[in-house]
Amino acid sequence: MAGRDRRGAGPSVTLVPDGDSRPRRVCLECGFVHYRNPLVVVGAVCEADGRVLLCRRAIDPRRGLWTIPAGYLELNEEPAAGARREALEEARAEIEIERLLAVYAVTRISQVQLIYAARLASARVAPGPESLEAALIPWDRIPWDELAFPSVRWALEHYRDQEDSGDLTPRANPPGETGDW
């Protein structure tokens, strides 16, 4: 096909390319190296009037459990814009990003998560196609035992810690935590 990029379209093998230290898939015909890199997840802890925005997942994994609005960063998308898009898609919520809250590494599934602290522009929320429910939940009524992922718990706890301490330094995985569930 004219104009089609065919790099790496031939037979490939796993080997350590010259100048590298890890095994990679390499095309035998052209030498193209197929690098596999972690996926980036973006999301936000969104607060309004002492309540936090949570969404009950309508999709697997962890269907039916609660999460903050978050999802995969799209190609050519700025991370904060991705977090705003995810809030709009999952909770029909317009949010204002305030700061980077945390960077989490979930190495078992090769994810890097960029989680922001945000404020809701409006208290109007509604479930999007990936959510069964979207709700503003008071902090003392968060369903801690029904959170979808460890990083959701970390983000909520880190948000409260930042708000209480005034230390706005971005957080990371709690010591010894890898994100496995």
Domains in the chain: ranges and CATH: 39-165 (3.90.79.10)
Q: 19 phi and psi, to 5 degrees?
A: 80, 0
Please tell me the distance from the alpha carbon of residue 119 to that of residue 97, in angstroms, as a whole number. Answer: 7
Indicate whether 1 pLDDT > 70.
no
Cβ neighbour number for residue 109 with a 10 Å cutoff: 11
pLDDT in tens, 88-143: 999 999 999 999 999 999 999 999 999 999 999 998 999 999 999 999 999 999 99
What residue spans of 10-56 are helical by DSSP H? none
When pLDDT is cut at 50, 70 and 90, the band that residue 6 belongs to is low
Please tell me the distance from the alpha carbon of residue 142 to that of residue 162, in angstroms, as a whole number. Answer: 18
When pLDDT is cut at 50, 70 and 90, the band that residue 11 belongs to is confident
What residue spans of 50-128 are helical by DSSP H? 79-91
When pLDDT is cut at 50, 70 and 90, the band that residue 8 belongs to is low
Q: In terms of DSSP bridges, do strands 95-106 and 111-120 run parallel, antiparallel, or are they unpaired?
A: antiparallel
Average model confidence (pLDDT) across the chain: 94
Give CA separation, 141 vs 51, 52, 95, 110, 137, in Å. 9, 10, 22, 32, 6
Mean pLDDT of 162-179: 95
pTM: 0.89
Q: Which residue has the tokens 């230390």?
A: 167
C-beta of residue 116 within 8 angstroms of C-beta of residue 98: yes
